[in-house]
Every structure is written in C-alpha cells, then in structure tokens.
A = this chain, B = another copy of it.
Amino acid sequence: MANGEGFEKEFVVNMSYFPPNRALMGPGPSDVHPRILAATARPTVGHLDPWFVEFMEDLKGRLRNLFLTRNDVTLPISAPGSAGMECCFSNLVEPEDTVIVCENGVFGSRMRENVERAGGLPCMVKNDWGKPVDPEAVETAVRANPDAKILAFVHAETSTGVESDAKTLCKIAQSHDLLTIVDAVTSLGGIPVNLDEWAADAIYSGSQKCLSAPPGLSPVSFSDAAMEKTKNRKSKVRSWFLDLNLLTGYWQGQGGRSYHHTAPINALYGLHESLVMVEEEGLENSWSRHQKMHGALKAGLEAMGLSLLVEPAHRLPQLNAVKVPDGVDEAAVRKFLLDRYNLEIGAGLGPLAGQIWRIGLMGYSARPERVLLCLAALEDALTSCQAKINKGVATAAAQAVL
C-alpha cells in the first residue's frame, strides 16, 4: 500500500453539500449576515503578513470598544467559546487554587470541570436553574473560603435565558481580593458588558451569538492583574495552545510578532466584519434592538397564551426560555418548525429538558422578519398538535411593539 493501492475507500454519504437555508433562532449559532459570510471568503493571507499584522491591531481595537475596556490583552482565541473558557481557567487557576464557581445552568458546571482540569479546587455556589446567581450566597461562600483566589460566574446563562448581576458579583470578589472570570458568551453585543466598569479580570465570549459571525472564535480580555498572575505562575499553563504568555507574543508582540500557531485568517475576517457592523449600528443601538425584538416576541407569545420561564427582571432579551404547554411534545414541535419552515429553535437542557424551548434573538436573528416568522410558524406547529392557544393574534401583538 506504498501508494495507497489496495485501500478500499470509505463509503461516503450521498447528499447535497449545499446546506439548507435555516432561520437560526436557537441558542446559537445565530443567522450570519451575508456581509459577514462574504468577508470570510476574502483571499487568505499569511499569518505574519504585514497587512495582517495591521488588521490584527484594528481587530483588537474594535474588540476593546465592544467590551468597553482599555485592557491591553484583548484578542480572539482561535477556537470556539469553550476554548475561550478554557483559556481563562487554564491561565489563571494554579494547582491547589480554590475557585468559587457559581452554577445556575449548564455553563457553571462546565466551569467546575475547567477548574478541576487546571488542578484547582472548585467550591460550588449552586442556584436553581432559571434563577440568577444569588449575590448573598456568593458573599457567604467567599467569607467561608478565605483562601479562595478566584470567583467565576456566567453573565448570561444560555441554557436558561437568565442574566446575573455581573457588577455586583465582581464587587463582592474585589472586596475580598479575588480575581474574577466572567462568561459573556451570550451577552456580548446583545446587552451591556461594561468590562472596565465591572473591573472583571478575565472574560470570554463567542463569535456566533450576538455578533452573528460563524462559530469558531472566542474573544477574550484580561486585566493587568490577570496577566501578572499568568506571568508569575509557579507551574506552566497546562495548555500550550492557550498559554497567554505565548499567545501574546503573537498578538501583542512589540517590534515583531513571534509565530505561535497559524491563526484562522478567514474566520478572523468574518469576526472583524461583524465588529465593523456593530460600530456602524452603534453598540447602544444594538442593545436596544435586542430589547425591542424581545418585547415583540414576548407580546406575541403571551397573546398566544404562552409564558416565559424567567422573571422579567432577569430575562435575557436574546435568549427566551418559553414554557412548553402541557401535553405538547416539544421535540415534535421543533421538528415541525425545522421541516416546514427551516426554522431552528432550541430545546431545554438538564432539569429543563422537555420543559422549555429556547428561542434566540441574537445578532442578525434579532430582526422583525424573524420575530414574525417564529410566531407564525409556532402558531402553526402548536395548532397542528392540538395545543390550546389563542389563534390569529400573535403576529399583530408583535407588530404593535415593532
């Protein structure tokens, strides 16, 4: 088989390789704007090309504007949000460090995994799914663990649609000299993420939520204190690929960039275009748009007789957890929406499996056409399975808000 002779080829699936054109209203990825798709198809250049080095500076500046931060180390990790999470934990957590981890959904438990794999000791603050992180419980945990080094929490829980109070949680951490790690995967671009006001030490997000770029990149930002800790670690970061001491040699290098890994050039074109579009719209306008589309969707859902899981004060406009009416097969509804309308919405996870749908209004999906499609299609789906709903009123209720 020196030339591959005699190797019997694997059967490959006989399918169309052009994907269906879906409306993406699940928990992410969201609809990618055609401008962003077109940007990703621009000509590839080398990762050390002088043009690309200038492009990287521009990209970092726009990311700082988006995070509302002056943090020097603000860059995109060359992998999805889960790798951005791992970058924060693997750099900041040293073996035997106690880390207070707030859990109120899927991503808090993933944080615990990250602490353990970095050699740290997680101390869990558990909250009910569908509720925000309770600051008093955090204060109690912090007092009970005077050796703790880090507080970690999720700003916008994608699994439940809940916002936690990042500013208050960061303040508690700071009053006890803890570093903070914040998950902003679903929040960035959709609701205010005021990084410098919060003074969080490490934050990560994703390209495929409210930025509407394809999945695959994770914007992160680190405070000077976080970088100090990373530089002065007693043991090396357990990941070579995510070691900030090496990554910054490529992204930050003064007077020359050191090759670390080959950056995903075309994906970065897409992320950059999404940042240009956010600036064109205005960050505050983007937040308002998400809020307005949420209001319209909510009006339509409630007119239909459906209700939302999360209390109004803690609802994420970009991720709506909708209660499944009694007796309705939630998976059949999602299949109906996908098959008949090319519309993707999300299922519940963990204890909320079967209880909720998750309807995303993120980035380019947060627009009137999508709100109306979703309401009309959902009405059709629920009608087809004989659910008791108010018919013929949802879209008008939404249009009154739009």
| A interface list, Cβ under 8 A from B | 1-4, 7, 9-13, 15, 17-22, 24, 26, 28-29, 31-32, 37-47, 49-52, 54-55, 57-58, 61-62, 64-65, 68, 70, 78-83, 86, 90, 110, 113-114, 116-118, 192, 194, 196-197, 206, 208, 214-216, 236-241, 259-267, 269-270, 272-273, 276, 283-284, 287, 338, 344, 349
Q: List 13 A-B contacts (CB under 8 A).
A: A4-B283, A15-B55, A19-B49, A20-B45, A22-B43, A24-B44, A49-B344, A50-B338, A82-B240, A82-B261, A86-B239, A117-B239, A216-B266
Q: How many copies does the complex hold?
A: 2
Please name all residues of chain B whose beta carbon is closer than 8 Å to the beta carbon of A19 when the two chains form the complex: 42-45, 49, 51-52, 55, 269
Closest B residue, CB atoms, query A89: B240
Please name all residues of chain B whose beta carbon is closer than 8 Å to the beta carbon of A22 when the two chains form the complex: 43-46, 49
Please name all residues of chain B whose beta carbon is closer than 8 Å to the beta carbon of A196 when the two chains form the complex: 1, 7
Please name all residues of chain B whose beta carbon is closer than 8 Å to the beta carbon of A50 when the two chains form the complex: 338
Q: Are B241 and A238 in contact (CB under 8 A)?
A: no
Given the complex of chains A and B, what is the CA–CA distance between A236 and B7 in angstroms?
A: 36
Nearest Cβ on chain B to A346's Cβ, whole angstroms: 8
Query: Which of B1, B29, B261, B263 lies in contact with A44, CB distance below 8 A?
Result: B29
Given the complex of chains A and B, what is the CA–CA distance between A1 and B65 in angstroms?
A: 13
Q: Are A80 and B3 in contact (CB under 8 A)?
A: no
Please name all residues of chain B whose beta carbon is closer than 8 Å to the beta carbon of A43 when the two chains form the complex: 19-22, 32, 37
Given the complex of chains A and B, what is the CA–CA distance between A185 and B14 in angstroms?
A: 28
A-B residue pairs, 3 tightest by C-beta: A216-B264, A79-B79, A82-B261
Q: Are A262 and B28 in contact (CB under 8 A)?
A: yes
Nearest Cβ on chain B to A246's Cβ, whole angstroms: 9
Nearest Cβ on chain B to A92's Cβ, whole angstroms: 15
Given the complex of chains A and B, what is the CA–CA distance between A70 and B82 in angstroms?
A: 29
Please name all residues of chain B whose beta carbon is closer than 8 Å to the beta carbon of A42 when the two chains form the complex: 18-19, 37
Nearest Cβ on chain B to A282's Cβ, whole angstroms: 10
- A61-B13 CB under 8 A given contacts A82-B260, A262-B208: yes
Q: Are B83 and A3 in contact (CB under 8 A)?
A: no
Please name all residues of chain B whose beta carbon is closer than 8 Å to the beta carbon of A44 when the two chains form the complex: 19, 22, 24, 29, 31-32, 37, 208, 214-215
Q: Are B216 and A61 in contact (CB under 8 A)?
A: no
Nearest Cβ on chain B to A159's Cβ, whole angstroms: 10
Nearest Cβ on chain B to A119's Cβ, whole angstroms: 8
Q: Are B47 and A241 in contact (CB under 8 A)?
A: no
Please name all residues of chain B whose beta carbon is closer than 8 Å to the beta carbon of A3 when the two chains form the complex: 192, 284, 287
Please name all residues of chain B whose beta carbon is closer than 8 Å to the beta carbon of A68 when the two chains form the complex: 1, 4, 7
Please name all residues of chain B whose beta carbon is closer than 8 Å to the beta carbon of A260 when the two chains form the complex: 82
Given the complex of chains A and B, what is the CA–CA distance between A57 and B13 in angstroms?
A: 7
- A13-B54 CB under 8 A given contacts A31-B44, A37-B41: yes
Closest B residue, CB atoms, query A56: B13
Given the complex of chains A and B, what is the CA–CA distance between A32 and B45 in angstroms?
A: 9
Please name all residues of chain B whose beta carbon is closer than 8 Å to the beta carbon of A10 when the two chains form the complex: 61-62, 64-65, 70
Please name all residues of chain B whose beta carbon is closer than 8 Å to the beta carbon of A272 when the two chains form the complex: 17
Q: Are A86 and B241 in contact (CB under 8 A)?
A: yes
Q: Are B2 and A192 in contact (CB under 8 A)?
A: yes
Closest B residue, CB atoms, query A275: B12
Nearest Cβ on chain B to A167's Cβ, whole angstroms: 9
Given the complex of chains A and B, what is the CA–CA distance between A26 and B266 in angstroms?
A: 17
- A192-B62 CB under 8 A given contacts A42-B19, A240-B114: no
